[in-house]
Amino acid sequence: MAAIIASVAERGDAALEEHVARFDRRDGEPAQPLVVADAELDAAVAGLSAELRAALELAIANVGAVAAATTSADRDVQLPQGQLVRVREVPVRRAAIYVPGGRAPYPSTVVMGVVSARAAGVDEVVVCSPSDDPVLWAACRLAGADRVHRMGGAHAVAALVHGTETIAPVDVLVGPGNLWVQEAKRQLSGRVGIDGFAGPSDLLVLADAGADPQLVALDLAAQGEHGDGSLVVLVTDDRSLADEVARRLEAGVGGGPGSAETGAAYAAVVVDGPRTGLALAEAFAPEHLELVGATIEPLAPEVRSAGCLFVGASGATAFGDYVVGSNHTLPTDGAARFASTLSARTFRRTMCEVHVGPAADALAEAGAAIADAEGFVVHAASMRARQNRNR
C-alpha cells in the first residue's frame, strides 16, 4: 500500500498507468485514456432507457434538495465588547467521488456524491471508478461531474491526493471502496478531507408485534445483498415475529437467495420491551435504523446514534439507497455515535472572519493577561499595541 502511494506521488502518470494496467484492466483489454471523454459521457446518457433516465433524474433532484438543506448562510455574532465575528461556511475548491467497480456498477453512489458536492458549491467535482459501465458514466453526466477518471484502487486515491500530470489534486475525497481504497484514504487523510472509513454495511430493524414479517424480511434481505460482512439485525419484543422473519429469510424473499447463501450475517434479539430495544439500538449505533410498529415509531425523536433513521412500515432502507433524498454514504461499524452522513456539509468548512475595531481597547488587557501567563510576551505586546488606536 505505502509503496503504491509513494510511487504515484513520486512518478505521477507513469506509475499511475502501470497500476491501472495491473489492477484495473482485464487481461487483454486495451489501454484507454485516464480521463473519460465528453463524447463517451454523452453517448452513455443517450443510451439510457427513458425509465432509467427519469429515475436517475428523480434521485438527483431529491438528493440535491436534501443536500442543499445542510448548508448554512454566514452568521454575524456581535459581541458585548464591540467586536464582530462572522461565522462563514465556505466550499472546498475541488472534490473527488470514488465509485467502486467490483461486482456491479454503482450509479447511485455517483448521485449521492456528485449532487452533494454540487449543492455545497464546490468549484470542480471529479469522479473516479474502475468500472467502464455506461449507466455509471450517464449518471456522472446527469449529476454534473466536471471530469471522470477511468481508474480505481489505492493508486487512484494516491493520484487524486498527490496529483499527477493528468490528475489534479483534490481537497476532499469521499466514497466507498474495498479495504485497499479505504486504507489508502486513511493513510492520506492528513493531506485531504475524507468522509470516514467505510466498513461493511449494516441494518438494525426495531419492530413490535404489529410489524409485517414479510416487509421486515425483505428489508433485512435487501441489506444483506451488499454481501460478505454485511450485518442485519432484528430487535423485537415479539418472539413469533423473530421466528417468522427468520423462516422467510432462510427460504429467500424478494427473488433473492436464502440467508445462508448471501455471505451476510443475520441475528435476531428478543427484548422485554421497546425501551430496551431502543437502548440496544443506541449502543449498536447502526448505519441504518428502522423503527416499525405503533409502540416503536414514537421513539424516533429519542434516536441519536444512527447513520440514517427510517420510520414506519413504508420506510424501507432501500429507498434511502436510491431515491428518497437522504444520502446512502453513511457511517458504519458503530461510527454513527460521532460521525455524520455524507452531505453538502462534508464539502464545506467553517471559518471565522473577525472585525475587532474599537473593541481592541476592552480586549487587549484581558488577552495580554492570558498571554503573559503563558509566557508569550510578544502576543501580549501585539494586543496592547492596538489600544487607543480607535479614538
Q: What is the DSSP letter of 35?
A: B
Q: What is the DSSP letter of 237?
A: S
Whether 288 sits among the annotated catalytic residues: the reply is yes
Residues 40, 287, 290, 297: which is the catalytic one?
A: 287
Q: Are strands 172-174 and 84-91 parallel, antiparallel or unpaired?
A: unpaired
Taking the C-alpha atoms of residue 62 and residue 71, their distance in angstroms, rounded to an integer, is: 15
Q: Would you state the cell numbers that stand for residue 102, as one nine-digit string?
A: 467490483
Residues 149, 155, 288, 328: which is the catalytic one?
A: 288
Q: Would you state the cell numbers that stand for residue 10, as one nine-digit string?
A: 513520486
CA-nearest of 268, 267, 291 to 278 is 291
User: Residue 17 to residues 4, 31, 105, 150, 236: CA-CA distances in angstroms?
Assistant: 12, 9, 22, 11, 52
Q: What is the dihedral of CA 299, 303, 308, 314, to 10 degrees?
A: 0
Indicate the SS3 state at residue 312: coil
226 is in an annotated binding site: yes
Please provide the size of the chain in residues: 391
355 is in an annotated binding site: no
321 is in an annotated binding site: yes
19 is in an annotated binding site: no
149 is in an annotated binding site: no
Which residue ranges make up the annotated binding site? 201, 223, 226, 288, 321, 374, 379
Which residue ranges make up the annotated binding site for substrate? 201, 223, 226, 288, 321, 374, 379
* Positions marked catalytic: 287-288
